[in-house]
Structure 1
Amino acid sequence: MSEDSVACGSERLGENPPNEERIRKIVHVDMDAFFASVEQRDDPSLRGKPVAVGGARQRGVVAAASYEARVFGVRSAMPSVTAARKCPDLIFVKPRFDVYKSVSAQIHEIFAEYTPLIEPLSLDEAYLDVTENLKGMAIASEIAEEIRAKILDRTGLTASAGISYNKFLAKMASGHNKPNGQFVIPPAKGQAFVRTLPVAKFHGVGPATATKMQALGIKTGADLEAQSLEFLQRHFRSGGEYYYWIARGIDHRRVKPDRVRKSVGGENTFFDDVHDLPGALEKLSPIIDKVWRHAEQKSLYGRTLTLKVKFADFEIITRSRTEQAPFATKVAVERTAHSLLAPVFPTSKGIRLLGISISGFEPASRSDGVEQLALAL
């Protein structure tokens, strides 16, 4: 095969026309029921049983569900009480995020054997650009097979993979043969593949957008492809252009190995509703501690603090404040968070969740200087 030809999956692609960008080979690796699979690996008594990682208490939420649990309709982000109702034999396991992070690091070491172009999306999934790979392998599906085999050998866990010529299609392909499988979408079949998909399944189309599309008569990729760019921009603003192109199997986004974190945050759901400011401040304190500790560890010093409040009736409000300089101490974060929370009271509704996030990060060198100056004063 010549230098300018590319193989994607088992289908080889011919040389690109003159002046056209070389076709990329993107692999999306997605671990199978990652958190739950780690728990089943480490505790043999859980294997073959419906497992949910998360709190079993009334206001707990499922962080991950094993495939045995998914048969009953249990899904991540589902309230624990709903999950238990759907699956009376469901076994709840407390999450062990330190373990999940350690396993994720093992997996990323495997990725790095093949390419430096790795874009993590979370602990359990990532994009890899293997167009030019460290192994000199021509066929992307063979790379995906090797990676999945190494993950199984080193961690005892299975992964699924999607292989295609862009990120959107690779992501869609990785869910096509789950669990423990892979699927290839070559350029010649990309647009046809998208046409058959329900828009609700599209990566980047959330429930609210899917509902809006349904109301506009857009139910499938073919329906989306039939819309003009102007129509989609009018109804979906900045997202309209993205929807226009992915409906045609086109996605020019690059795999970005150095993704910039935009925020760091945390939140807690309470067993009992909070009704007064002193109680809310007490509940907010450990959240601030956790967020600030993480921000310091990662040297993430931001200028904007956002408070999230979810009431007992599930209404959510957010309040933000942006300072002239990054927050340099936990005391400064506490002061701003308290000032954002105080005006929420008095309230006739109980509060079931509080959260904060810090964003608007400054470069590390600048934030270090700001921190030293603030501490000196």
Structure 2
Amino acid sequence: MLKKIRCLTGDIFFRIEDSFGKYKLNIDRKIVSILMYHGLETDPGRLVCNYLDITPESCLKEIRFYQRQGYKLISIDELDCLGDRRYNNNAYLIISFDDGFLNTFEHIRNWLKDEKIPVMMAICPELVENNGIFWWDEVRARFQLMKTDTIELEIDNGKPYFTKNDMVKFEEKCERLPHNNLLSLLCQLRNKTDYISEDQIRDSKYYREIMKWDDINLLAEDNLFSIASHSLAHELAINIPEQELKENSIKSRQMIKEKTGYDTKYYVYPSGKCSEKTDEVLSKCGFTHTFSTDASTNYLDSIKIRLNRFRGIGYGSTNLRYYAHKWNKEHKIMSPIS
């Protein structure tokens, strides 16, 4: 009860301070902030299963909150023009969606048309081409549908057991592996759970369908829509050899151009995993900007190739006390309710 009272009090304080302009930006250098989203979901059961998904309503409210504080929405294609005299605002906001989930399609289409919100979507062209399944969606579905309570898998010369409750632990282990080792581990998991069909995985609440090329091309008809490479098939840039990164990034860029006509110059790092070396490789492959998941804003006069992005958590009707804390942390200002 005490916790609920504190949250309610924090929400009230936040709304009052917001109405008095407490969170409005007061800066003398141009900044560019990027909000990063994944899926947009209205089904509460699916929201619980996919923690990066938020509701469309809270997403739109979050974008509007940033605008109220002084941010101006721009397309990623305008980034290199911000030094022009006609761009006289000091704070600019770019909206990005990763992975190209189909549950975002109708919302993005409406926002482009009705709300005039520019969107950059990062896609994995090989997965789009093959109607693929992201490996973590498959892992979650297989763990959920396992007939046994535990499963033994060979990893790093050991044979640890994983229970159904170890799904997140297993995912984290997968993400740390070199890409080929990850693929090998997934093969083990598939072999140990070969009684689970692909249809069962796609019917699982953990699975999220991705857009097809026709969907992406419909969105691309709007000039406010931009496309970025999100790697070829969501391989982590730091977990593959340099030559493979080069070949995959070039192929992903070519596929996007062939399928959509959009010659992308943007590379969004899967899981934000990157280094100065990967930036260097991608720059040589024709990418002018890369994007991480480091939660901080970007000073325009300091941008070289890589830009940071905030994870959009959605602006809801409750827990605004935490939202105030997050805003203050990202913008490095103090607040009495943080």
What interval of TM-score do these two structures reach, taking the shorter chain for normalisation? under 0.3
Where is the helix percentage greater, Structure 1 or Structure 2? 2
TM-score (ref. length: structure 1) = 0.23
TM-score (ref. length: structure 2) = 0.25
Structure whose alpha-carbon radius of gyration is higher: 1
